[in-house]
């Protein structure tokens, strides 16, 4: 936590499941991308890759994809 705080200036980490109510927990990068595309998340980090929804023109212009389930 200290190392993260020193590196980012934000000494907070949150641990939660990644899923939308009614759907199983994300298990694969493809699951993570689908969750990212259909929720209000603004960033997705997988390994060394960072996706910012605002930089995904197809998602922004289409308003994302319609959610399959309501968000919590």
pLDDT in tens, 2-47: 999 999 999 998 888 898 888 899 999 999 998 998 888 999 999 9
Residue 6 lies inside a defined structural domain of this protein:
no
Give the whole-angstrom CA distance, residue 51 versus residue 42: 8
Residue 9 lies inside a defined structural domain of this protein:
no
Residue 64 lies inside a defined structural domain of this protein:
yes
At residue 51 the predicted structure's pLDDT band, cuts being 50, 70 and 90, is very high
If one counts the domains in the chain, the total is 1
- Residue 22's domain comprises 17-72
Judging by beta carbons within 10 Å of its beta carbon (0-12, 13-18, 19+), is residue 36 exposed, middle or buried?
A: buried
Residue 41 lies inside a defined structural domain of this protein:
yes
Residue 20 contacts residue 35 (beta carbons within 8 Å): yes
β-partners of residue 52 are: 43
Residue 10 lies inside a defined structural domain of this protein:
no
Residue 5 lies inside a defined structural domain of this protein:
no
**Confidence (pLDDT) at 61:** 47
pLDDT at 67 exceeding the cut of 90: no
């Amino acid at each position: 936590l200290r190392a993260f705080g020193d590196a980012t200036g934000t000494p907070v980490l949150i641990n939660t499941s990644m899923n939308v109510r009614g759907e199983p927990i994300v298990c694969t990068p493809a699951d993570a991308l689908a969750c990212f595309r259909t929720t209000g998340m603004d960033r997705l980090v997988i390994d060394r890759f960072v996706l910012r929804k605002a930089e995904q023109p197809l998602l922004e212009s289409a308003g994302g994809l319609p959610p399959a389930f309501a968000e919590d």
